[in-house]
Homo-oligomer: A and B are copies of this chain.
Amino acid sequence: MITHTMQAFDEDLHKLLRKLVDMIEMDATQIRAATDALVRHDATVAAQVIDLDAKIDEMQRDVEEEAITVIARRQPMAVDLREIVGALRIASDLERIGDFAENIAKRVLLMDDLRIPQVMPRFRHMAQLALDQLTKVMQSYVDRDAARAVDVWQCDQEIDAFNLSLFRELLTHMLESPVNITYCIHFLFCAKNLERIGDHITNIAETIYYIVEGHRISGQRPKADLTSKDQLPLPV
Protein backbone atom coordinates (compact mmCIF):
# COMPACT_ATOMS: atom_id res chain seq x y z
CA MET A 1 0.00 0.00 0.00
CA ILE A 2 2.78 2.38 0.94
CA THR A 3 4.67 1.39 -2.22
CA HIS A 4 1.54 2.01 -4.23
CA THR A 5 1.13 5.49 -2.76
CA MET A 6 4.78 6.29 -3.24
CA GLN A 7 4.60 5.19 -6.84
CA ALA A 8 1.56 7.39 -7.42
CA PHE A 9 3.41 10.29 -5.82
CA ASP A 10 6.44 9.66 -8.03
CA GLU A 11 4.16 9.74 -11.05
CA ASP A 12 2.73 13.05 -9.87
CA LEU A 13 6.23 14.46 -9.45
CA HIS A 14 7.15 13.24 -12.89
CA LYS A 15 4.12 15.01 -14.35
CA LEU A 16 5.23 18.21 -12.63
CA LEU A 17 8.77 17.76 -13.99
CA ARG A 18 7.35 17.26 -17.50
CA LYS A 19 5.47 20.56 -17.24
CA LEU A 20 8.64 22.35 -16.18
CA VAL A 21 10.59 20.84 -19.07
CA ASP A 22 7.87 22.13 -21.41
CA MET A 23 8.31 25.58 -19.88
CA ILE A 24 12.08 25.42 -20.38
CA GLU A 25 11.59 24.49 -24.03
CA MET A 26 9.11 27.32 -24.46
CA ASP A 27 11.61 29.75 -22.89
CA ALA A 28 14.33 28.54 -25.25
CA THR A 29 12.03 29.12 -28.24
CA GLN A 30 11.21 32.61 -27.00
CA ILE A 31 14.87 33.55 -26.38
CA ARG A 32 15.80 32.33 -29.86
CA ALA A 33 12.89 34.18 -31.51
CA ALA A 34 13.46 37.42 -29.59
CA THR A 35 17.14 37.41 -30.55
CA ASP A 36 16.23 36.74 -34.19
CA ALA A 37 13.74 39.60 -34.08
CA LEU A 38 16.44 41.89 -32.70
CA VAL A 39 19.25 40.84 -35.00
CA ARG A 40 17.15 40.81 -38.20
CA HIS A 41 14.99 43.73 -37.04
CA ASP A 42 11.86 41.67 -37.62
CA ALA A 43 8.74 43.28 -36.14
CA THR A 44 6.52 40.31 -37.04
CA VAL A 45 8.61 37.86 -35.05
CA ALA A 46 8.82 40.38 -32.21
CA ALA A 47 5.02 40.63 -32.10
CA GLN A 48 4.77 36.82 -31.96
CA VAL A 49 7.15 36.69 -29.00
CA ILE A 50 5.05 39.28 -27.18
CA ASP A 51 1.86 37.32 -27.89
CA LEU A 52 3.33 34.01 -26.73
CA ASP A 53 4.41 35.35 -23.35
CA ALA A 54 0.88 34.90 -22.01
CA LYS A 55 1.26 31.19 -22.72
CA ILE A 56 4.28 30.95 -20.39
CA ASP A 57 2.39 32.81 -17.65
CA GLU A 58 -0.40 30.28 -18.07
CA MET A 59 2.06 27.40 -17.85
CA GLN A 60 3.34 28.77 -14.55
CA ARG A 61 -0.16 28.96 -13.12
CA ASP A 62 -0.74 25.42 -14.33
CA VAL A 63 2.35 24.21 -12.44
CA GLU A 64 1.05 25.98 -9.32
CA GLU A 65 -2.38 24.35 -9.62
CA GLU A 66 -0.79 20.97 -10.24
CA ALA A 67 1.50 21.38 -7.22
CA ILE A 68 -1.48 22.24 -5.02
CA THR A 69 -3.38 19.21 -6.30
CA VAL A 70 -0.43 16.89 -5.64
CA ILE A 71 0.04 18.18 -2.10
CA ALA A 72 -3.68 17.97 -1.32
CA ARG A 73 -4.00 14.47 -2.77
CA ARG A 74 -0.80 12.85 -1.50
CA GLN A 75 -0.09 14.84 1.65
CA PRO A 76 3.64 14.29 1.29
CA MET A 77 6.15 14.59 4.10
CA ALA A 78 8.27 17.69 4.60
CA VAL A 79 11.20 16.33 2.57
CA ASP A 80 8.96 15.69 -0.47
CA LEU A 81 7.22 19.01 0.01
CA ARG A 82 10.62 20.62 -0.44
CA GLU A 83 10.78 19.11 -3.90
CA ILE A 84 7.38 20.56 -4.79
CA VAL A 85 8.23 23.98 -3.40
CA GLY A 86 11.43 23.74 -5.47
CA ALA A 87 9.31 23.12 -8.56
CA LEU A 88 7.26 26.24 -7.76
CA ARG A 89 10.47 28.25 -7.45
CA ILE A 90 11.76 26.96 -10.79
CA ALA A 91 8.42 27.75 -12.47
CA SER A 92 8.67 31.30 -11.12
CA ASP A 93 12.19 31.73 -12.56
CA LEU A 94 11.09 30.29 -15.90
CA GLU A 95 8.18 32.71 -16.05
CA ARG A 96 10.57 35.66 -15.50
CA ILE A 97 12.90 34.36 -18.20
CA GLY A 98 9.93 34.54 -20.55
CA ASP A 99 9.36 38.15 -19.47
CA PHE A 100 12.95 39.08 -20.35
CA ALA A 101 12.60 37.57 -23.82
CA GLU A 102 9.39 39.56 -24.22
CA ASN A 103 11.17 42.75 -23.11
CA ILE A 104 13.71 42.29 -25.91
CA ALA A 105 10.88 41.86 -28.42
CA LYS A 106 9.20 45.03 -27.11
CA ARG A 107 12.42 46.98 -27.67
CA VAL A 108 12.56 45.75 -31.27
CA LEU A 109 9.18 47.37 -31.89
CA LEU A 110 10.58 50.67 -30.63
CA MET A 111 13.40 50.78 -33.18
CA ASP A 112 12.78 52.18 -36.66
CA ASP A 113 15.57 50.42 -38.46
CA LEU A 114 18.73 48.46 -37.88
CA ARG A 115 21.70 50.52 -36.77
CA ILE A 116 25.20 49.53 -35.68
CA PRO A 117 24.77 46.09 -37.31
CA GLN A 118 28.31 45.12 -36.29
CA VAL A 119 27.14 44.48 -32.71
CA MET A 120 24.50 41.99 -33.81
CA PRO A 121 26.70 38.87 -33.80
CA ARG A 122 27.48 39.73 -30.17
CA PHE A 123 23.79 39.41 -29.28
CA ARG A 124 23.58 36.07 -31.06
CA HIS A 125 26.60 34.86 -29.15
CA MET A 126 25.26 36.06 -25.81
CA ALA A 127 21.85 34.46 -26.46
CA GLN A 128 23.60 31.22 -27.38
CA LEU A 129 25.46 31.24 -24.06
CA ALA A 130 22.12 31.59 -22.27
CA LEU A 131 20.53 28.83 -24.36
CA ASP A 132 23.43 26.47 -23.63
CA GLN A 133 23.02 27.16 -19.92
CA LEU A 134 19.30 26.53 -20.18
CA THR A 135 19.87 23.16 -21.87
CA LYS A 136 22.40 22.18 -19.21
CA VAL A 137 20.10 23.20 -16.38
CA MET A 138 17.26 21.18 -17.90
CA GLN A 139 19.48 18.10 -18.13
CA SER A 140 20.65 18.54 -14.56
CA TYR A 141 16.99 18.69 -13.45
CA VAL A 142 15.86 15.67 -15.45
CA ASP A 143 18.89 13.60 -14.35
CA ARG A 144 18.93 15.04 -10.82
CA ASP A 145 22.57 15.79 -11.49
CA ALA A 146 23.89 18.16 -8.79
CA ALA A 147 27.38 18.34 -10.35
CA ARG A 148 25.92 19.67 -13.57
CA ALA A 149 23.86 22.21 -11.61
CA VAL A 150 27.10 23.44 -10.01
CA ASP A 151 28.62 23.68 -13.47
CA VAL A 152 25.74 25.91 -14.65
CA TRP A 153 26.09 27.98 -11.50
CA GLN A 154 29.78 28.56 -12.13
CA CYS A 155 29.42 29.43 -15.82
CA ASP A 156 27.06 32.39 -15.37
CA GLN A 157 29.99 34.78 -15.12
CA GLU A 158 30.71 34.12 -18.79
CA ILE A 159 27.42 35.85 -19.73
CA ASP A 160 28.14 38.64 -17.25
CA ALA A 161 31.60 39.23 -18.71
CA PHE A 162 30.14 39.27 -22.19
CA ASN A 163 27.55 41.84 -21.17
CA LEU A 164 30.28 44.04 -19.71
CA SER A 165 32.33 43.96 -22.89
CA LEU A 166 29.23 44.69 -25.00
CA PHE A 167 28.46 47.58 -22.67
CA ARG A 168 31.91 49.04 -23.37
CA GLU A 169 31.46 48.63 -27.10
CA LEU A 170 28.06 50.33 -27.09
CA LEU A 171 29.44 53.14 -24.96
CA THR A 172 32.08 53.81 -27.61
CA HIS A 173 29.38 54.09 -30.28
CA MET A 174 27.42 56.49 -28.10
CA LEU A 175 30.42 58.69 -27.46
CA GLU A 176 31.25 58.70 -31.17
CA SER A 177 27.91 59.94 -32.38
CA PRO A 178 24.78 61.25 -30.64
CA VAL A 179 22.51 59.72 -33.29
CA ASN A 180 23.50 56.31 -31.92
CA ILE A 181 22.47 57.10 -28.36
CA THR A 182 18.82 56.01 -28.33
CA TYR A 183 19.59 52.85 -30.27
CA CYS A 184 22.45 51.97 -28.00
CA ILE A 185 20.21 52.45 -24.95
CA HIS A 186 17.81 49.90 -26.40
CA PHE A 187 20.73 47.55 -27.04
CA LEU A 188 22.03 48.05 -23.50
CA PHE A 189 18.66 47.03 -22.09
CA CYS A 190 18.48 44.06 -24.49
CA ALA A 191 21.91 42.89 -23.31
CA LYS A 192 20.82 43.42 -19.71
CA ASN A 193 17.77 41.26 -20.35
CA LEU A 194 19.98 38.44 -21.62
CA GLU A 195 22.22 38.85 -18.59
CA ARG A 196 19.19 38.67 -16.30
CA ILE A 197 18.09 35.50 -18.10
CA GLY A 198 21.47 34.07 -17.11
CA ASP A 199 20.86 35.10 -13.49
CA HIS A 200 17.55 33.28 -13.39
CA ILE A 201 19.08 30.16 -14.91
CA THR A 202 21.61 30.34 -12.08
CA ASN A 203 18.73 30.57 -9.58
CA ILE A 204 17.28 27.40 -11.11
CA ALA A 205 20.65 25.64 -10.79
CA GLU A 206 20.69 26.60 -7.10
CA THR A 207 17.20 25.21 -6.59
CA ILE A 208 18.06 21.95 -8.34
CA TYR A 209 21.18 21.55 -6.22
CA TYR A 210 19.07 22.13 -3.12
CA ILE A 211 16.44 19.59 -4.21
CA VAL A 212 19.06 16.92 -4.96
CA GLU A 213 21.54 17.53 -2.14
CA GLY A 214 19.22 18.82 0.57
CA HIS A 215 21.44 21.82 1.34
CA ARG A 216 22.50 24.96 -0.46
CA ILE A 217 25.58 25.40 -2.70
CA SER A 218 28.26 26.89 -0.47
CA GLY A 219 30.26 29.96 -1.38
CA GLN A 220 29.54 33.23 -3.14
CA ARG A 221 27.87 33.16 -6.53
CA PRO A 222 30.61 33.86 -9.12
CA LYS A 223 29.92 37.23 -10.77
CA ALA A 224 31.63 39.25 -13.44
CA ASP A 225 29.24 42.16 -13.71
CA LEU A 226 29.47 45.83 -12.85
CA THR A 227 30.26 45.48 -9.20
CA SER A 228 33.58 47.22 -8.99
CA LYS A 229 34.60 50.63 -10.18
CA ASP A 230 37.74 49.37 -11.88
CA GLN A 231 35.73 47.50 -14.46
CA LEU A 232 33.83 50.51 -15.72
CA PRO A 233 35.38 53.00 -18.14
CA LEU A 234 33.96 56.28 -16.85
CA PRO A 235 34.53 59.20 -19.20
CA VAL A 236 36.12 62.21 -17.53
Contact = CB atoms under 8 A, between A and B. Distances in A.
A81 B71 contact: yes
B110 A81 contact: no
Give this chain's copy count.
2
Contact of A182 (B75, B89, B112, B235): B235
A191 to B, nearest CB: 12
A67 B85 contact: yes
Interface in A153-175: 171, 174-175
Task: Name the interface size band of chain A.
Answer: 35 or more
A2 interface: no
Contacts of A71: 71, 81
B68 A85 contact: yes
Contacts of A233: 182
Contacts of A182: 171, 232-235
Nearest to A180: B235
11 contacts: A64-B89, A68-B82, A72-B77, A72-B78, A85-B88, A110-B226, A112-B229, A171-B181, A174-B178, A175-B178, A178-B235
